Amino acid sequence: MAEETFRTETKGMERYPGLTAFLEGWGIFRQSLLGKIGLVLLIMFALMALCSYIPPLIDPMYNPMTGVDPVITCSTGPSRAHWLGTDFMGRDILSQLLAGARVAFMVGVSAAFMSIVLGTAIGMTAGYMGRFMDTFLMRLADMIMVMPTLLVVLILAAVFGQLNIWTIVLIIALFRWPGVSRIIRGQTLSLKQRPFIEAAKVAGASHVRIIFRHIMPNVLPLAFLFMTFRVTSAIIIEAALAFLGFGDPGTVSWGMMLQWVWKTGHMFKAPYWLLPPGICISLITLSFYMLGRAMDEVLDPRLRKEDQTD
């Protein structure tokens, strides 16, 4: 039934292979409840991130970092002026929460993207070149993989003092590529043996051509799948770091908010302050995870209708 509909959808669109592939993937994706929930949540967070620009425009006191309500000097509960209340020095929690969504996306997506690019490049190199390069890169990956990322970042933060948010992103990316590169290497190894690579060789294709035209298009979907999982871990690491007091003091992230709650002793006194960032962290990681699982289904070759004939 569902297949019927997507058949008709794709009819006449064969000229646009990207679109066809997308529609085909969407046909599978939308059958997954997990994926739909994840997508809805994600859209919600994206809207939050977009809305984060609005409050400071209404009134400078809604600036998440520097805006202080002139009449409030301690944490207060929800009111008409501050829908989610204020923090210990009278800053608006809702605008902080919205800004936090923006930071979470920024940190998560950029760290994940960097680690994916790095992991894919290294994994493909190792898998395709083999021999010494493979051994060298994979042992390097092993070494980095066994290092606890959070601990290393904590040590670096202790050594270099406060870390800039982009430094944190970079460190997360540098420590999270090995998992990706292992997967990509495995995929490359299996692709390398496939007859279509040999066919390309017989046609006279160079190594560069084989890597970029034949192997990369086949590993990229997998890399993007992993990106969603990497986003999750990057957000968690950043939150943990901020909560422990090693975050970027110039950025309002959810982890930072939690840290302020903790440091000012409002942990059990101000649920309106503690719960929103906590719930947001859980939900955004959950939504990326669910999205990843659903995409897993889309990309799983066993679920793809490979042997369809017209």
Partner 1 sequence: MMENQGNAIIEIQNVSKVYRSRGALFGVRAKDVVALRQVSLKIYKGEIFGLVGESGSGKTTVGRLIVGLEEITSGEIFLDQENVTGLKGKALKAFRRKVQMIFQDPYQSLNPQRSVLDTVSEPLSIHRVGRSADRKEMAHKVLKSVGLSPPEAFFYRYPHRLSGGQRQRVAIARAMVLNPEFVIADEPTSMLDASISAQIFNILLKMRSTFHVTQMFITHSLAAARYLCDRIAVIYRGQVMEVGSGETIIRNPRHPYTQALIDALPKFKGSGEIKQYGTLLIEEREVNGEPMGCPFYPRCTVAEIRCEREIPGLRMLEEGHYVACFNV
- Interacting residues toward partner 1 by CB under 8 A: 14-15, 17, 20, 194-196, 198-206, 209, 213-214, 217-218, 304-310
Burial label, 168 (beta-carbon count in 10 A; 0-12, 13-18, 19+): buried
Of 15 and 80, nearer to partner 1 (C-beta) is: 15
Q: Smallest distance from the beta carbon of 17 to partner 1, in angstroms?
A: 6
Cβ–Cβ under 8 Å, residues 210 and 200: yes
Of 201 and 293, nearer to partner 1 (C-beta) is: 201
Q: Smallest distance from the beta carbon of 202 to partner 1, in angstroms?
A: 5
Of 36 and 201, nearer to partner 1 (C-beta) is: 201
DSSP one-letter string for 170-199: HHHHHHHHHHHHHHHHHHHHHHHTSHHHHH
Of 59 and 198, nearer to partner 1 (C-beta) is: 198
Q: Smallest distance from the beta carbon of 177 to partner 1, in angstroms?
A: 24
Of 185 and 214, nearer to partner 1 (C-beta) is: 214
Cβ–Cβ under 8 Å, residues 182 and 222: no
Of 154 and 216, nearer to partner 1 (C-beta) is: 216
Of 167 and 218, nearer to partner 1 (C-beta) is: 218
Q: Smallest distance from the beta carbon of 195 to partner 1, in angstroms?
A: 4
Of 176 and 214, nearer to partner 1 (C-beta) is: 214
Q: Smallest distance from the beta carbon of 213 to partner 1, in angstroms?
A: 8
Q: Smallest distance from the beta carbon of 303 to partner 1, in angstroms?
A: 13
Q: Smallest distance from the beta carbon of 187 to partner 1, in angstroms?
A: 13
Cα–Cα–Cα angle for 303, 305, 306, rounded to 5 degrees: 115
Q: Smallest distance from the beta carbon of 183 to partner 1, in angstroms?
A: 18
